[in-house]
Structures are given as structure tokens and as C-alpha cells.
């Protein structure tokens, strides 16, 4: 999905929180391993997990190791690090929408031209390479449109990893279903909350209070604001049904 480490202009930060603790120390790898273990226990599907190094400033600056979890075009970057005598935990959720660029289109056009050029040397009739090329193009378009309908999840995953083809497939052919929307929200709810809970557990185990300093709410705002469980108004205070 993400063939880069720097943030793109089109990226959307859906959620970001950072919390700190005084007089606390912890190995970042120990925390990252705990996150990975918990995700495995919850059987969270489809996450690609890796450790990434990001510069603190310029190219020659020191680097910090982040835990990165990717699900299609949504990434979770988690950091646990020392800050003097203090310690901080941070979690970012970044969504990178599919963006079709000019070079993507050029690559696809070159692909079909290369096929035409190669076939043109094997057929005396110049129309046959054109027919085959157009037929291949129509076949690919139909396949892109029907991958989701036919339940070809392996083909869908493969297309998402092909450079140039991936953004075109996502932008024009891959339907954003209710299931995909609900799944994104489940990841948005599960991963950041899991990281926060573990941060509280690690600091609490040493009798240190974790203070949340900053938090950026999801970009969807109040539309998806968490709600408290509804109370059953059919019962009175004693638990008896009215």
C-alpha cells in the first residue's frame, strides 16, 4: 500500500493522541511486542505489521523506531520513547486515499502499446494486434468491475499491490461497500484504544500516572462520536419491569 515514508499532502490524519508519564522508562520494543501480542490474541485480521525508522529532523538527525500497522490504505503509527526524565506514547491513524497521477496513466498506456508493438511483429494483418489489445483492455476492465462481486479476495489483494494499476483500480472500479466502511471504523476504534490501554497498563504497573496531553478526534467528527450504552427505560430503579 504505502511505498513511502513521508506524509503526502493528500493524507488525512483520522486520529492522533499523545500521553506522557514522569519518571518512567521502558524499552520501546517491549511495548511494541505487547501491542503485537494483543492484536494476535484479538485475531485482528488483515494487518501488515512492521518496524519503521523515522528521522527526528533532517536526513542526518537521529532516528526513532515506530510500530507501523497497515490495513489497505489506513496506517497506524505508534511510538513509545524517552523524553528526558519523562516518557511518552503516541498513536496516529493516517488514511491515504487513492490518487491517480499522470504517470500512472502513462504506464498503463505504455503497457498496452508494448503488447501491440510485440504482436505487430507476429501478425501480417495489422488489425489483429489492435483487436487483441482492445479485447485485453475490455477484459481487464470487466475483471476490475467484477472482482468484488465475484468474491475474488486474493485477486483484490493482488491488484492493491501493483504499482500504477492499484490507484486506478481503487479510484474507478473498487466499490466502497458498507462492509469496507464498517471495517475501517472497527480498526479506527480497536487499534488506538488498544495502544492507549496498554500504555495505561505499563505505567500503572509501576505506580505511575499516565496523563493524556493532546488528542485529535477523528476527522469524521460528531457523525461517529462514541455513544454511551442506552439505558433500559422499561425497568425502574429496583430492576423491576414497569
Q: What is the pLDDT along the chain (242 residues), one digit of tens a residue?
A: 443 344 554 678 888 889 999 989 999 999 999 999 999 999 988 889 999 887 766 565 567 899 999 988 889 999 999 998 899 999 999 988 888 889 998 998 898 888 888 887 777 777 888 888 889 889 888 888 888 667 677 788 788 888 888 888 888 888 878 888 888 889 988 999 999 999 999 999 999 888 877 666 554 544 455 555 555 555 555 555 44
**Which pLDDT score, from 0 to 100, does residue 67 have?**
96
pLDDT, tens digit, 9 for 90 and up, residues 22-31: 989 999 999 9
pLDDT at 195: 94
CA dist 187 and 76 (Å) reads 9
- Name the grid cell of 6: 513521508
Query: Which pLDDT belongs to residue 11?
Result: 77
- In this structure, are residues 81 and 63 in contact, taking their beta carbons and an 8 Å threshold? no
Strand 86-95 to 63-71 pairing: unpaired
∠ CA(160), CA(223), CA(12), 5° rounding?
A: 40
Q: So what's the pLDDT on residue 227?
A: 53
Using DSSP's 3-state secondary structure scheme, residue 4 falls into coil
In whole angstroms, give the CA distance from residue 185 to residue 179.
10
Task: Output the pLDDT for position 173.
Answer: 86
Question: How many whole angstroms separate alpha carbon 49 and alpha carbon 69?
Answer: 5
pLDDT attached to residue 174 = 85
Chain segment 148-206, per-residue pLDDT in tens: 667 677 788 788 888 888 888 888 888 878 888 888 889 988 999 999 999 999 999 99
What local confidence, expressed as pLDDT, does residue 190 receive? 92
Q: If residue 204 lies in a helix (H) or strand (E), which one and from where to where?
A: helix 178-205
For domain 12-97+181-224, is the CATH number 3.10.50? no
Sorted by where each begins, the domain ranges of the chain are 12-97+181-224, 102-178
Contact 220, 212 (CB under 8 A): no
Amino acid at each position: 500500500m504505502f511505498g513511502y515514508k513521508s506524509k503526502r499532502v493528500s493524507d488525512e490524519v483520522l486520529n492522533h493522541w499523545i500521553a506522557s508519564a514522569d519518571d518512567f522508562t521502558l524499552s520501546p520494543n517491549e511495548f511494541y511486542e505487547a501491542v503485537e501480542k494483543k492484536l494476535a490474541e484479538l485475531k485482528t485480521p488483515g494487518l501488515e505489521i512492521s518496524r519503521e525508522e523515522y528521522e527526528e529532523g533532517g536526513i542526518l538527525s537521529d532516528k526513532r523506531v515506530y510500530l507501523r500497522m497497515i490495513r489497505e490504505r489506513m496506517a497506524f503509527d505508534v511510538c513509545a520513547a524517552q523524553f528526558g526524565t519523562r516518557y511518552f506514547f503516541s498513536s496516529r491513524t493516517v488514511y491515504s486515499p487513492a490518487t491517480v497521477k499522470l504517470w500512472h496513466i502513462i504506464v498503463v498506456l505504455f503497457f498496452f502499446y508494448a503488447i501491440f508493438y510485440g504482436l505487430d511483429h507476429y501478425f501480417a494483418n495489422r488489425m489483429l494486434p489492435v483487436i487483441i489489445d482492445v479485447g485485453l483492455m475490455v477484459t481487464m476492465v470487466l475483471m476490475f468491475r467484477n472482482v468484488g462481486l465475484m468474491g475474488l479476495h486474493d485477486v483484490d489483494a493482488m491488484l492493491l499491490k501493483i504499482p500504477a494499476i492499484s490507484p486506478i483500480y481503487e479510484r474507478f472500479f473498487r466499490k466502497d461497500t458498507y462492509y469496507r466502511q464498517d471495517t475501517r471504523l472497527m480498526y479506527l476504534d480497536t487499534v488506538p484504544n488498544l495502544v492507549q490501554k496498554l500504555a495505561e497498563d505499563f505505567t500503572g504497573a509501576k505506580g505511575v500516572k499516565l496523563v493524556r496531553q493532546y488528542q485529535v478526534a477523528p476527522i469524521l467528527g460528531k457523525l461517529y462520536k462514541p455513544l454511551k450504552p442506552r439505558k433500559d427505560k422499561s425497568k425502574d430503579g429496583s430492576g423491576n419491569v414497569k
